[in-house]
């Protein structure tokens, strides 16, 4: 873990729970793509840079989830490097309380303020084309997070962030976290057609052909959507739908899984509502979800 692997002439990644990308921009300088889940991950990344004689020139974030920005604060304190994050994710990087607040839909309790869901704040700047070094291009990959991006390097390596997860994770957890169902489906469909010399997902092994894994993620997302459609044949409250989803896939509920899977379920329900496939009713001051009348 945390070994440096070369995947292109100037492209590397640091193997970790959320793989960190590295792009060398000069003989003695490189940028980091995502910073890991905490200060310890950041320290190990810095050690890899020091071993290569590289200066950390900048951190480019794919999105603002804690396991991708958790090392930002230490890296800025140690090196003074700038951090860039895309769109709305930039605000969440500056103010990480927004993440558990979004998931909880209110002021989050202490149980949701650990490093798993809430990183330390960092002084992030908006990711713009002007901020990118020569040879690095941002690729919009929304859906998992608000404005998530991937990065393509001049040596044709694509860092994918959390656009998809490994097959084993799909088989174990079934419900992958996402914010925008429509955007996520479009991103996965785009990935089934994307070509590159090498793809580096954050939570799967590098590959030169991302299509099979993209298709597996797409199929699982559609499967979960189909389950929700079927569950709406019987009018139910959100809590009843969430319990049915956990039971169907044999998931174990705790506070973190409640908000992560619950948020994803709400995104699926919003998608079905906007598509005209779901409807809501208010019964005895309770919001009830149901299949839309044909």
Phi-psi label, residue 274: left if phi above 0, alpha if psi -120 to 50, beta otherwise: alpha
pLDDT of residue 55: 98
pLDDT of residue 294: 76
Asked if 87 contacts 125 with a C-beta cutoff of 8 angstroms, the reply is no
Domain extent, residue 257, equals 232-291
CA-nearest of 37, 57, 52, 48 to 14 is 48
Give the distance between the most distant pair of CA atoms in the chain.
Answer: 68
Which of 167, 188, 223 represents a domain boundary (last residue)?
Answer: 223
Q: Are residues 211 and 244 in the same domain?
A: no
pLDDT of residue 169: 97
Q: Are residues 154 and 261 in the same domain?
A: no
Q: Please report, for the domain that includes residue 264, its CATH number.
A: 1.10.10
pLDDT of residue 128: 97
Q: Are residues 252 and 160 in the same domain?
A: no
Q: Are residues 209 and 283 in the same domain?
A: no
Tokens of 44: 């190990």
Tokens of 199: 């793809």
Q: Are residues 68 and 212 in the same domain?
A: yes
Residue ranges of alpha helices (H) inside 159-210 are 167-173, 181-193
Task: Give the total residue count for the chain.
Answer: 294
Q: Are residues 138 and 88 in the same domain?
A: yes
Q: Are residues 151 and 279 in the same domain?
A: no
* Overall number of domains in the chain: 2
∠ CA(116), CA(117), CA(120), 5° rounding?
A: 90
Tokens of 95: 């103010």
Q: Please report, for the domain that includes residue 172, its CATH number.
A: 3.60.15.10
Q: Phi/psi of residue 261, each to 5°?
A: -70, -35
Tokens of 87: 């769109």
Sequential DSSP letters for 118-158: -PPP--EEE--GGGSPTTEEEEE--SSSSS-EEEEETTSEE
**pTM summary value:** 0.96
∠ CA(214), CA(35), CA(41), 5° rounding?
A: 110
pLDDT tens string, the chain, 294 residues long: the values are 899 999 999 999 999 999 999 999 999 999 999 999 999 999 999 999 999 999 999 999 999 999 999 999 999 999 999 999 999 999 999 999 999 999 999 999 999 999 999 999 999 999 999 999 999 999 999 999 999 999 999 999 999 999 999 999 999 999 999 999 999 999 999 999 999 999 999 999 999 999 999 999 999 999 999 999 999 999 999 999 999 999 999 999 999 999 999 999 999 999 999 999 999 999 999 999 999 987
Q: Are residues 187 and 243 in the same domain?
A: no
Q: Are residues 128 and 255 in the same domain?
A: no
Q: Are residues 174 and 216 in the same domain?
A: yes
Helix-helix angle 181-193:255-274, to 10 degrees: 90
Which runs of E-coded beta strand occur in the chain?
4-6, 11-14, 20-26, 29-33, 55-60, 83-85, 124-126, 136-140, 149-153, 157-165, 198-203, 236-237, 278-283, 286-291
Alpha carbon distance 178, 288 (integer Å): 22
Q: Are residues 79 and 191 in the same domain?
A: yes
Q: Are residues 59 and 199 in the same domain?
A: yes
């Amino acid at each position: 873990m945390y070994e440096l692997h070369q995947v292109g002439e100037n492209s590397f990644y640091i193997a970790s729970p959320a793989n960190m990308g590295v792009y060398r921009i000069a003989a003695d300088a490189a940028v980091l793509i995502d910073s890991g889940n905490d200060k310890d991950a950041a320290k190990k990344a810095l050690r890899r840079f020091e071993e290569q004689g590289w200066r950390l020139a900048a951190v480019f974030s794919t999105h603002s989830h804690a396991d991708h920005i958790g090392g930002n604060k230490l890296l800025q304190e140690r090196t003074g490097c700038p951090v860039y994050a895309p769109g709305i994710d930039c605000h969440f990087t500056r103010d990480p309380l927004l993440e558990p607040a979004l998931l909880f839909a209110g002021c989050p309790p202490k149980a949701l303020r650990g490093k798993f869901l809430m990183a330390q704040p960092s002084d992030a700047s908006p990711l713009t084309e002007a901020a990118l070094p020569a040879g690095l291009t941002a690729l919009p990959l929304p859906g998992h997070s608000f404005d998530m991006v991937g990065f393509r390097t001049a040596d044709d390596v694509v860092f994918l962030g959390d656009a998809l997860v490994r097959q084993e994770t799909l088989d174990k957890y079934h419900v992958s976290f996402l914010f925008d169902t429509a955007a996520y489906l479009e991103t996965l469909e785009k990935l089934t057609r994307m070509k590159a010399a090498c793809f580096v997902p954050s939570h799967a092994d590098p590959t030169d052909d991302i299509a099979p894994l993209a298709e597996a993620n797409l199929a699982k997302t559609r499967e979960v959507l189909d389950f929700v459609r079927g569950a709406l044949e019987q009018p139910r409250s959100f809590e009843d739908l969430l319990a049915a989803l956990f039971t169907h896939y044999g998931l174990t509920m705790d506070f973190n899984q409640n908000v992560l899977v619950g948020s994803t379920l709400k995104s699926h329900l919003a998608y079905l509502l906007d598509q005209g496939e779901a409807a809501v009713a208010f019964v005895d001051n309770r919001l009830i979800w149901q299949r839309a009348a044909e």
